[in-house]
Chains A and B, each alone.
Chain A
Amino acid sequence: MINLKINGIDVEAKEGSTVLDAAKEYGFDIPTLCYYPDLRINSDCRVCSVEVAGSNHLMTACSTPVKEGMEVKTNTSKVYNARKTITELILANHDTNCTTCARNLNCELQDLANTLGIEENRFEKVLEMDAVDDHNPSIYRNPNRCIKCGRCIEVCKDVEGTYVLENQGRSNEVKVAPKYGKYLSEEDCTFCGQCASVCPVAAITEKDDTQRVFDAINNPNKHVIVQVAPAIRVAIGEEFGHKSGGQWTGQLITALKRLGFDRVFDTDFTADLTIIEEGHELLERVKTGGTLPMMTSCCPGWINYAEQQHPDMLEHLSTCKSPQQMFGALAKTYYAQSSGIDPSDMYVVSIMPCTAKKYEAGREEMQSNEGMQDVDAVLTTRELAKMIRSQGINFNNLKDGEFDTPFGITTGAAAIFGATGGVMEAALRTVSEVVNEKPLEKIEFEDVRGFDGIKEATVELGGNPVKVAVAHTLKHAETLISEVKAGKSDYAFIEVMTCPGGCIGGGGQPYGTTNKKRIERIESTYRVDDSMPVRKSHENPTIQKLYDDFLEKPLGKKSHNLLHTHYHPRHKKV
């Protein structure tokens, strides 16, 4: 332990920790702006400056390691003046329009200005307005609100390994912008939205689709149905003041009903369906000598990445649509037919933890009826929370509701789709039982659980050991891909999720998502699984009924038309 003094108080801190950590532990809050847990520390904004005895210059608490005998002061007038001046400087070059801003009351810059008590700015506005980027369906960039904190660059580069954003220019002309083109749509951007999730201000956000959804709800001629992804129920409460690690399925359903959706369904249902189709696809590939390893296809950020960076690997991708798109396809065929609604009078909304899902929904392959997208609008967790607030719905006072039928009965296997390793575990539960023709003694596959970047497991299938692997973040996926390309990989099946921790850590989840919170959401996800009466996809009775009534058999003709898709190599930027 290291002994130091903070504001005259004796403090003990772990070796290697920073002044910021140590101060926090003892109840001294030091404001920060560019600092973000889990990201590389750049100490660019200088807001966390503190005084350290022996130095005339201020030191940034986020980057200064504690030292024996150090004397730190976090709230002198020199410190306060520096923080205030820095914030005023930022505001003088910022399109400050809080009341008409997506981040109003949920903005780190606004918070900081408020904490420091800034009521006027000594510095005149020097902002030169720049064009916004709204050229893609997922991510909206407003450079006039960018404070050059660099978080988006770090997450895109260091966490995802995608290198889309960079600093350009110097001095006060610095811009944080896509590397090659003017717009993200001209780049190899996967639309994962991790940049949006760490941006402290409204410079990168999801493209807002709430108005379109309100319009549909308010249109009396539309039958508006909604599906909710597994990762939403373990995160939405955080938007309403709860700690991470909870589970809010019942309130979520009631909130959606109060918003006016005609039916509230569960994407978990089509997650179960994905497992059946994907499981059989795997077995088929193994049996017929098809391309292995097979790689999962539920994550649209990953699909974008594969199409952009590894067009020669597309054969490895499972042809299964994602659960969101399987849902959309069934909604506008099976459900439309069985409830006697013309699919053109239907409006399908999904609530997703993800911004790439917005892009996926608009892909041209995703039309089961000619000229009509299967999913009409995708909202992130954050957008849903906004809608709930805007309608005066008091989330915390809601009673539990229940999903509607037929897409409401689901399993524990589907629930864990949201966690890294979840798709793999769900698939293994089903595939093992189908192949081995006997129930598993233990259905938990601990090896594929947890937060390690790459996880491996070996399972017995029909007496043969089969190796599988799981990667979260594209950076880790890239490691597995290079092994496959080098012929060094003997995996049969690989799960890839773009976002850290899987969908529960998606780019559309509540602000302030950190790895710690991701781990808590994952734990909550497994508790949901534990509590389910049915925990294997192939035992879901409504899935069995769906095959009997409509689809006939896994990988059958109907499945092929509705539940499977194909991929395109995409122009790669040099």
Chain B
Amino acid sequence: MPEQKMLTKRIGDINPLSIKDALEKGTYKQLEKALKMNRIDLIDEVEKANLRGRGGAGFPMHIKMMSTAKQESTPKYVVCNADEGEPGNFKDRYLMENDPHIILEGILIAAYATGASKGYFYIRGEYNQAISIMKWAIEEAKENGLLGTGIQGSDFDFDIEIRTGAGSYVVGEEFAMIESIEGKSGRTRVKPPFPTDEGVFGKPTLLNNVETYCNLPFIVDMGGENYSKIGTKTSTGTKLISLSGNVTNPGVYEVPFGTTVREVIEDLGGGVPNEHKIKMVQLGGACGPIIPEFMLDLQIDFERFEEFESKTGAGAIIVMDERQDLFEVLMRIVKFFQHESCGRCTPCREGHVHLEKLVHSFFKGDGNPNELYSLESLARVMHHSSLCGLGQSSPISIISSLSYFRDAFHDRMAFGGGEK
């Protein structure tokens, strides 16, 4: 199956540093159309399109938009989540570096529909190039009357400010991001209330992923109904996939929902190089499940992925061939999350230390059945009872490994091996 380029169609063809070029190629035309629409009708189109969040949780976009739009309290905020801190994900960077105006157009449509007047664009601090391109794009948009007061001659006012993260992964979580925007330490909050009720500075806030916003101009263009025909019945539209690991052509690919993991790896990524074989694939990013080769015909869509007690994640596919050691991979993942935990809730704060110790036992080759039992039970408890997505999803790699690669654990117990 080939790519189906929509969001990324103009990439390569458009100069990211020139708003003139963007305008000539049609950017902001859909904003113009949207500004003439009734706000509620606009959200109705998003509902018909059945657009779901692309940042990890897959929450229906129209519900968040409607809930923000209905709030009476002002000002309202729109936040664009471009923190992309999870290893294996780089598709938001790709969008920012190559077509910044399509993102701004999407944000503006969302802001208009919800009645927001102020935006924050929160970019991961290490993304130097993306930061400067977005800054430039915002400047140019201001100069062209696309940001500020009376946008495109309407009575819609909106301004956006760039914020950059300080290298912490957990600020990608929505409430941690909101706290960080408010100048506090990036730790999550208790829900409810949700951001749409009480977000930035206690005001209604729509917070979405870069890619999610980018879909809005296309929905406005073709109408929700038509948009919903792309992809599968329940997972509509396209998905940007960050493909990495042992593949011939790593990179960002845009495919319709319903494409299988194997198609992405083999047809688009050119398979594993040098006659090596796929041993396992991690989906979604470091927080996603690790599946064996025989499961690669799995379709990329929200429902299939939920069966793993996981979400689609942000759409990463990390390919690992037979030279990779599962336990080394798990060690790397656990260490990452152990380091990134904000330390607020017990299962995640205290759990990672022990998760690391237990995985290390198997990594070294001296795990025992008690440790296997403790590992499994701890991973499940952390998954079920952590406060935010970090602690909930960090153990998924372990839980899935215990389902699909259980033999590897037994082998280590029976025969030792591993790094001594």
Contacts and interface: CB of A to CB of B under 8 A. Distances in A.
Contacts of B349: 148, 171-172, 174
A46 B340 contact: no
A542 interface: no
B353 interface: yes
A216 interface: no
A85 B309 contact: no
Nearest to B354: A123
A86 B385 CA distance: 9
Interface stretch (A37-45, A154-162, A278-286, A467-475): A37-45
Interface string A356-391: 000000000000000000000000000000000000
A63 interface: yes
A170 B351 contact: no
Interface residues on B, range: 35 or more
Nearest to B381: A85
B345 interface: yes
B238 interface: no
Nearest to B373: A122
Contact of A170 (B190, B342, B346, B347): B342
A86 B338 contact: no
A86 B374 contact: no
A126 to B, nearest CB: 5
A93 interface: yes
Nearest to B371: A122
Given A89-B351, A172-B350, A122 B190 contact: no
B387 interface: yes
B343 A93 contact: no
B343 A85 contact: no
A92 interface: yes
A123 B343 contact: no
B384 A58 contact: yes
Interface centre among B345, B357, B384, by most chain A C-beta atoms within 10 angstroms, is: B384
A238 B380 CA distance: 41
Contact of A171 (B338, B354, B381, B387): B338
B10 interface: no
B341 A171 contact: yes
Interface centre among A58, A122, A124, A171, by most chain B C-beta atoms within 10 angstroms, is: A171
Contact of B343 (A65, A89, A171): A171
Nearest to B187: A167
Contacts of B132: none
A167 B345 CA distance: 12
A46 B344 contact: no
Nearest to B189: A42
B190 A41 contact: yes
Given A57-B392, A170-B342, A90 B384 contact: no
Contacts of A148: 343, 346, 349
B377 to A, nearest CB: 6
Given A147-B346, A170-B168, A172-B341, 19 more contacts: A44-B344, A46-B345, A49-B384, A49-B385, A56-B309, A56-B384, A57-B385, A82-B384, A86-B385, A89-B351, A92-B354, A93-B353, A148-B346, A171-B339, A172-B338, A172-B352, A173-B343, A174-B344, A174-B349
13 contacts: A46-B346, A47-B346, A58-B385, A78-B384, A81-B381, A86-B347, A86-B385, A89-B347, A90-B350, A93-B350, A123-B374, A174-B344, A174-B349
Interface of B: 168, 185, 187, 190, 192, 309, 338-347, 349-354, 357, 370, 374, 377-378, 380-381, 383-387, 392
Give me the 9 closest cross-chain CB pairs, A-B, nearest first. Answer: A174-B343, A89-B350, A85-B381, A171-B341, A170-B343, A82-B385, A46-B385, A58-B385, A122-B374
Interface of A: 41-47, 49, 56-58, 63, 65, 78, 81-82, 85-86, 89-90, 92-93, 122-124, 126, 147-148, 167, 169-174
